[in-house]
């Protein structure tokens, strides 16, 4: 491999007039220190090629899959389908006001404006602009809908019940209730299956083709539809567990409008542990923008749901209208843009 020529920062006298080796590219490290990489373009290209060659040897299956995707893209270009435009009449093409009226019709009631929200813990709403295409979200999307899970819903409750069922199943034999343990274990197994059934009710559903978002179900309130412009996301920072149990990011979604019939206060939902950063939130909003093609980072997710023939909620088949963007044999997106 080509040897890297590095000039440390302390070796450069920027105030000196003496001729010296050109400093090259300044590389700043995470701790604030920096150095100068003085390699030529040819040397850096050779080093990068060597690194890729080593990676291919260590990861032959991943390398073969990448090569196949590249070969397929050349094939689609040769066939003339890669840049071929597809009619986008399935997209809503409606104004915000029209979609708001449609949401009210679906909900069966009018909206009212939510009260202004101020919180020291949650701060200000996240920026809604995706500044880096690689900083969005990358899964749970079939091209028509994208899902986002919330905490403290049906799945969370079932996990708690499942934990206590297993706990009691282990300790009840100590007090001569041996016959109850198998029943509790069967109950825990049943709840694991039921958890997969109710998981779809704990999801935000971002529906690109209608421009509406469907909220999760609550225990005593039904879900409702709302334009994506009327929801905002807050970063709750890092929540640390007790006694060194780790830390997780948190985030909350709040609605700017409240259905009059179902809610007295503005609906708000804590997202599942792991939260959602600004890039991920902006990625969901960009997905809803019908003037922008679906982020290429979501193509793999679309291909996955196409392969298993399920929508992103896994409650029905893959959207028929999205199949025109995929090659049926390769099961790969065969267009430059997915709309």
The pLDDT-based confidence of 179 (bands split at 50, 70, 90) is low
C-alpha 113/C-alpha 124 separation (Å) is 18
How many residues are given for the chain? Answer: 339
- The structural domains of the chain, with segments of one domain joined by +, span 1-55
The pLDDT-based confidence of 78 (bands split at 50, 70, 90) is very high
* Residue 226 in this model has a pLDDT that exceeds 90: yes
C-alpha 10/C-alpha 8 separation (Å) is 5
Q: Which of 27-36, 238-247, 273-282, 324-333 has the lowest mean pLDDT?
A: 238-247
Tell me the mean pLDDT in the region 220-248.
78
Concatenated DSSP letters for 264-314?
SS--EEEBPTT---HHHHHHHHHHH-TTSPPPGGGHHHHHHHHHHT--TTS
Tell me the mean pLDDT in the region 84-96.
93
Per-residue pLDDT of 42-55, as tens digits, reads 888 888 888 888 87
The pLDDT-based confidence of 333 (bands split at 50, 70, 90) is very high
The pLDDT-based confidence of 2 (bands split at 50, 70, 90) is very low
* Residue 11 in this model has a pLDDT that exceeds 60: no
pLDDT of residue 209: 96
| pTM of the complete model beyond 0.85 | no
The pLDDT-based confidence of 14 (bands split at 50, 70, 90) is low
Instruction: Please give the backbone phi and psi of residue 229, each rounded to the nearest 5 degrees, phi first.
Output: -70, -20
Per-residue pLDDT of 110-168, as tens digits, reads 999 988 888 877 888 999 998 888 888 878 999 999 999 888 777 777 777 777 777 77
* Residue 218 in this model has a pLDDT that exceeds 70: yes
Tell me the mean pLDDT in the region 95-103.
96
278 CA to centre of own chain: 11
The pLDDT-based confidence of 61 (bands split at 50, 70, 90) is confident
pLDDT of residue 242: 53
Edge-to-edge strands of the sheet including 203-207? 145-149, 203-207, 212-214, 225-227
Q: Which residue's entry shows tokens 């609550």? A: 218
* Residue 104 in this model has a pLDDT that exceeds 70: yes
Q: Which residue's entry shows tokens 């041996």? A: 178
pLDDT of residue 10: 53
* Residue 6 in this model has a pLDDT that exceeds 60: no
pLDDT of residue 20: 55
pLDDT of residue 23: 62
Q: Which of 28-42, 173-187, 293-307, 325-339 has the lowest mean pLDDT?
A: 173-187
* Residue 171 in this model has a pLDDT that exceeds 80: no
pLDDT of residue 60: 80
Taking residue 276's Cβ as centre, other Cβ atoms within 10 Å add up to 23
Query: Which residues face 148 on adjacent strands?
Result: 204
């Amino acid at each position: 491999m080509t040897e890297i020529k590095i000039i440390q920062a302390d070796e450069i006298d920027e105030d000196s007039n003496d001729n010296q080796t050109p400093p090259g590219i300044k590389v700043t490290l995470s701790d604030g220190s920096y150095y100068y990489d003085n390699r030529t373009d040819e040397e850096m290209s050779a080093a990068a090629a060597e690194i890729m060659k080593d990676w291919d040897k260590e990861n032959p299956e991943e390398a073969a899959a990448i090569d196949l995707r590249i070969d397929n893209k050349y094939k689609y270009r040769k066939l003339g389908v890669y840049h071929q435009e597809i009619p986008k009449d399935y997209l809503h093409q409606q104004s915000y006001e029209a979609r708001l009226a449609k949401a009210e019709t679906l909900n069966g009631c009018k909206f009212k404006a939510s009260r202004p929200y101020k919180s020291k813990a949650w701060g200000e709403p996240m920026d809604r602009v995706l500044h880096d295409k690689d900083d969005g979200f990358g899964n749970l999307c079939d091209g028509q809908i994208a899902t986002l899970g919330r905490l403290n819903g049906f799945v969370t409750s079932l996990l708690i019940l499942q934990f206590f069922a297993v706990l009691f199943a282990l300790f009840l034999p100590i007090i001569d209730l041996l016959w109850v343990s198998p029943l509790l274990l069967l109950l825990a197994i049943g709840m694991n299956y039921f958890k997969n059934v109710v998981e779809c009710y704990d999801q935000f559903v971002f529906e690109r083709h209608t421009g509406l978002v469907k909220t999760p179900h609550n225990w005593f309130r039904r879900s409702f539809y709302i334009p994506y412009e009327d929801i905002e996301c807050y970063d709750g920072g890092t929540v640390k567990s007790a006694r060194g149990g780790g830390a997780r990011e948190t985030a909350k979604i709040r609605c700017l409008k409240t259905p009059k019939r179902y809610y007295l206060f503005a609906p708000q939902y804590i997202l599942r542990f792991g939260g959602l950063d600004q890039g991920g939130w902006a990625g969901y909003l960009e997905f809803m923008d019908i003037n922008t093609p679906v982020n290429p980072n979501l193509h793999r997710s679309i291909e996955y749901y196409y392969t298993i023939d399920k929508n992103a909620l896994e409650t029905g088949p893959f959207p028929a209208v999205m199949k025109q963007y995929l090659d049926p044999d390769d099961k790969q997106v065969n267009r430059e843009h997915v709309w």
